[in-house]
Each structure stands twice: as structure tokens, then as C-alpha cells.
Amino acid sequence: GNSVTQMEGPVTLSEEAFLTINCTYTATGYPSLFWYVQYPGEGLQLLLKATKADDKGSNKGFEATYRKETTSFHLEKGSVQVSDSAVYFCALSDPYGGSQGNLIFGKGTKLSVKP
């Protein structure tokens, strides 16, 4: 079945450091891939997405490239800020894989950025 595996946290970085959060997936069809972010006390927000192989999603300085050959969708940011502290979830949606397009989430990675 479909699944998402992302690196375990917590991840603690200093401000302006480079961020990578690894995410790999298993899917039977041709999924769309997502990164969601959950700030403290808030609901999930879509951060970026990619719907086909080699697509690059980007938003707020974050980027992730859909790599079909390595089944990966790693999240990167060149210079993190304290305000980026949150929990990040990698997810996939496989509308043609029998799951009706439902999102399947990884366990989440907590990021803490220190000033």
C-alpha cells in the first residue's frame, strides 16, 4: 500500500542555517506529493506541492523536487528563521491508486530554530 517515511525529529538549527528534511514514499500509482506545516496551536497548512515527476514545488523560501527515480520529495530551505519553527509533514495523494485521493501523511518532523 501507499506510505510516506520522513526523517525523525526533532531537528534543532540556528537561525540562517540550511534545512533539509528527508521524505521518501511508496505508491502504487502516480501520486501527487505535498509538504504541510503545522505551527504551534494551529491547523495544518499546505506549504508546497508537486503533481508529477521532476516538478519543483516552492513557497516562502522552501523547495522540494519530486524525484521518481529515488521516490523522494525532500524539503529544503537555504536560510531558516525562528518563525519557521513548526512541525512539517510530508504527504501523498494517489487519486488513481484506489485511495480516492486521500492524503497519506508521514509522522511529522518538528523543527526548532534558535536565534
Partner 1 sequence: EAGVAQSPRYKIIEKRQSVAFWCNPISGHATLYWYQQILGQGPKLLIQFQNNGVVDDSQLPKDRFSAERLKGVDSTLKIQPAKLEDSAVYLCASSSNHYEQYFGPGTRLTVT
Question: Which residues inside 33-72 make contact with partner 1, applying CB under 8 A?
Answer: 36, 42-46, 49, 51
Residue (32 or 113) nearer to partner 1, CB: 32
- Is residue 7 within 8 A of residue 107, CB to CB? The reply is no
- 89 binds partner 1, rule: CB under 8 A: yes
Phi, psi of 26 (to 5 degrees): -130, 130
Q: How far is the CB of 41 from partner 1 (least distance, A)?
A: 8
| Smallest gap from residue 44 Cβ to partner 1 (A) | 4
How far CA 26 is from CA of 3, 15, 19, 64, 91, in Å, comes to 5, 33, 23, 17, 11
23 binds partner 1 (CB under 8 A): no
Q: Which of 40, 69, 70, 100 binds partner 1 (CB under 8 A)?
A: 100
Q: What is the rounded CA–CA span in Å between residue 55 and residue 3?
A: 20
Lay out the sheet containing 56-59: strands in order across.
19-21, 75-77, 62-65, 56-59
Candidate list 14, 28, 81, 102; residue touching partner 1; CB under 8 A: 102
**C-alpha pair distances (Å), 114 with each of 5, 74, 82:** 26, 22, 6
Q: Among residues 19 and 32, whose Cβ is nearest to partner 1?
A: 32
The contact set with partner 1 (CB under 8 A) reads: 4, 32, 36, 42-46, 49, 51, 89, 91, 93, 95, 99-103, 105-108
